[in-house]
Structure formats: structure tokens, C-alpha cells
């Protein structure tokens, strides 16, 4: 069977009540839909040990390390600390990081320089560790792309996760050595510009994700999201590109392991079937 990768999910935040609180239930549901590998993305340093333990136990799971641009409560990392944490073989990326001017406003006291400084530390950590970046960009396109350029992020590259911009922005991200990851938003009828991006995207530069438990795709819109639903994202893109979802799965899985080579190295689990 074809295997999909959910390139961005928050497994520690899933609503696991349908499976008596067991993550294995959600992962089994995903396997039934052909989803066999999961990049569980870090939001803060406080929960990071829990994520790492998850990945150490289950070779289908890789993790990233970083602090989300909206996170205000936890510890502030510097590049040095992130590099040290990223030395674990299960850590395949730095993030999620970036800029979010939607939930944090420039007009607030002191402005948002703290967010940009945090972002710079993450870029430095990616360059120092050689692990690619997972970028969260919301209502902050120009500053995000500017900082990536200024800090030389193209040296390591990475992924623009949950991409929602138009083709012009997508092209600029591609030129900076960032792949584009599509989430359930591409299944929404209203997402016309994003559907155009999915049509035009070079096949070897796209990834798929759920961002579960957030942003459930059609037909689960408004309900809790699960990694299994990345299949809907792949089906939606396949329809836009006049192909089969299996072809999208094969391509995006290959892209994922090329973009995150550390994931290819830690992929040991016997149940894994290579799409080739």
C-alpha cells in the first residue's frame, strides 16, 4: 500500500478520547488510510521531552525542536540550546518558528521585536545543526521572507508549513530553498488562490500535512483533526492536478525524506513499506 507522511502534526495535543486516550489508536487509524510516518512538531520547550520520548519509542514518529512564534508562557531558547537539543537522532528539524502578526500584534507594548529575535535564533540553530526549518508564517509575509534572506536561511532551507499564500509568494519561498506544505485548507472551497498554487507547484517541492489537531480538512471541517486525514489533503491535490492520490502520496513522501534526511536515517520500523 502507498504510504503518506503527515509532515506536520501535534501528536501530544490530539483529542484521543475515541481510543481511550491511547495515541496508538490515532496512529492505527492513520495506518488504515495509508499514513505511515509522522513529524510531530514542537511548540515549546516544556513539552519537548514528552515529544522526544514519543519518537524514541516509536520509529514511525520524528520530532522537531523549537518554540512557536505565538508562545508567550514558556522558556526562551537561544541558538546554542536548540543546537544541543537537536543533536538527538529523532530530531529532524528546527521549529516551528517564523512570524505570526495575526495573533500577536505589532502595536502591542514594545512591538514584536521579541518574535523576530526568536526567529533569528531558530535560523542560527538550523544553520548550526544542519537541520532544516519548519516555518509558520501568518500575516507576516514580507518580514518572514526578509528575515529568512537576511539570516541566510537558504543555506539549510526547510518547509513553509500550512501554506496559505498565493503563487507569487510561493515562488519566492521556493527560490529561498523552502518547500511548500499543504494542509486541510487546500480542501476548502474558498481557498481559490491556494488551489492555484497546488496546481502550479513543481511536483518535487510539495509536502502534505494535517497540523492536527487544528484545521481539519473537508469533510471533517470544524471537528478535531487527526493525522489520518492527510489522505484528504492528498486526494484534494490529486484532483487539482488531474492525477491519483497514490501518485501524490509517493511524490510527497519522497520529497519529505529528501528534505529531512535525518528522518530517512531514523526510519527503521519493519512495518514501514517504502513507496518505491
- Cα 183 to chain centroid distance, Å, stands at 9
- Looking up cell 520530532 gives 63
- Least distance from Zn ion to the Cβ atom of residue 212, Å: 9
Q: Looking at 133-141, 174-182, 240-248, 260-268, which segment touches Zn ion (CB under 5 A)?
A: 133-141
- Least distance from Zn ion to the Cβ atom of residue 56, Å: 21
Nearest Cα to Cα of residue 159 among 211, 206, 225:
206
Give the residue with the Cβ less far from Zn ion, 158 or 275.
Answer: 158
Q: How many residues touch Zn ion (CB under 5 A)?
A: 2
Give the residue with the Cβ less far from Zn ion, 131 or 136.
Answer: 136
- Whether 185 and 218 have beta carbons less than 8 Å apart is answered as no
Nearest Cα to Cα of residue 77 among 94, 91, 54:
94
Give the residue with the Cβ less far from Zn ion, 2 or 119.
Answer: 119
- Looking up cell 484532483 gives 239
Q: What span, in angstroms and rounded, lies between the C-alpha atoms of 142 and 132?
A: 20
- Least distance from Zn ion to the Cβ atom of residue 118, Å: 14
Q: Looking at 27-35, 204-212, 217-225, 253-261, which segment touches Zn ion (CB under 5 A)?
A: 204-212
- Least distance from Zn ion to the Cβ atom of residue 9, Å: 8
- Looking up cell 538550523 gives 126
Q: Looking at 13-21, 130-138, 147-155, 216-224, which segment touches Zn ion (CB under 5 A)?
A: 130-138
Instruction: Kindly list the distances between the CA atom of residue 17 and the CA atoms of 20, 57, 162, 212, 217, in Å, as whole numbers in the listed order.
Output: 5, 21, 26, 15, 20
Nearest Cα to Cα of residue 217 among 245, 187, 195:
187
Q: Looking at 111-119, 122-130, 208-216, 218-226, which segment touches Zn ion (CB under 5 A)?
A: 208-216
Which residue number has the CB closest to Zn ion? 136
Q: b/e for 16-52, b at 16 or more Cβ within 10 A?
A: beeeeeebebbbebbbebbbbbbbbbbbebeebeebb
- Least distance from Zn ion to the Cβ atom of residue 12, Å: 11
Give the residue with the Cβ less far from Zn ion, 19 or 214.
Answer: 214
- Least distance from Zn ion to the Cβ atom of residue 268, Å: 26
Lay out the site mask for Zn ion across 161-200 (x = CB under 5 A, - = otherwise): ----------------------------------------
- Least distance from Zn ion to the Cβ atom of residue 276, Å: 29
Give the residue with the Cβ less far from Zn ion, 2 or 194.
Answer: 194
Q: Can residue 136 be called a binding residue for Zn ion (CB under 5 A)? A: yes
Give the residue with the Cβ less far from Zn ion, 71 or 211.
Answer: 211
Give the residue with the Cβ less far from Zn ion, 95 or 275.
Answer: 95
- Least distance from Zn ion to the Cβ atom of residue 175, Å: 22
- Cα 1 to chain centroid distance, Å, stands at 23
Tell me the H-state helices in the chain: 23-32, 48-57, 79-85, 113-129, 141-150, 167-175, 192-200, 230-240, 245-259, 261-266
| Site of interaction with Zn ion (CB under 5 A) | 136, 211
Amino acid at each position: 500500500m502507498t504510504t503518506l507522511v503527515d509532515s506536520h502534526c501535534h501528536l501530544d495535543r490530539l483529542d484521543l478520547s475515541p481510543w481511550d486516550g491511547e495515541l496508538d489508536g490515532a496512529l492505527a487509524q492513520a495506518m488504515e488510510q495509508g499514513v505511515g510516518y509522522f513529524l510531530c512538531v514542537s511548540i515549546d520547550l516544556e513539552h519537548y521531552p514528552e515529544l522526544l520520548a514519543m519518537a524514541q519509542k516509536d520509529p514511525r514518529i520524528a520530532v522537531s525542536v523549537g518554540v512557536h512564534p505565538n508562545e508567550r508562557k514558556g522558556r526562551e531558547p537561544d541558538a546554542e540550546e536548540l543546537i544541543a537539543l537537536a543533536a538527538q537522532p529523532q530530531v529532524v528539524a528546527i521549529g516551528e518558528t517564523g512570524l505570526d502578526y495575526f495573533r500577536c500584534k505589532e502595536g502591542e507594548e514594545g512591538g514584536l521585536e521579541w518574535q523576530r529575535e526568536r526567529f533569528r535564533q531558530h535560523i542560527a540553530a538550523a544553520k548550526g545543526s544542519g537541520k532544516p526549518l519548519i516555518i509558520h508564517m501568518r500575516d507576516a509575509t514580507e518580514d518572514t521572507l526578509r528575515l529568512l534572506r537576511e539570516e541566510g536561511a537558504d543555506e539549510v532551507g526547510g518547509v513553509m508549513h500550512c501554506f496559505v499564500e498565493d503563487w507569487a509568494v510561493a515562488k519566492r519561498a521556493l527560490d529561498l530553498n523552502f518547500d511548500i506544505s499543504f494542509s486541510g485548507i487546500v480542501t476548502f472551497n474558498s481557498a481559490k488562490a491556494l488551489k492555484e498554487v497546488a496546481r502550479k507547484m513543481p511536483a518535487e517541492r510539495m509536502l502534505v500535512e494535517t497540523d492536527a489537531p487544528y484545521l481539519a480538512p473537508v469533510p471533517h471541517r470544524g471537528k478535531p483533526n487527526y493525522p489520518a486525514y492527510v489522505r484528504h489533503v492528498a486526494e484534494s491535490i490529486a484532483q487539482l492536478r488531474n492525477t491519483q492520490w497514490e501518485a501524490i502520496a509517493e511524490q510527497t513522501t519522497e520529497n519529505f525524506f529528501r528534505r529531512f534526511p535525518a528522518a530517512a536515517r531514523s526510519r527503521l520500523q519493519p512495518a514501514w513499506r517504502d513507496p518505491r
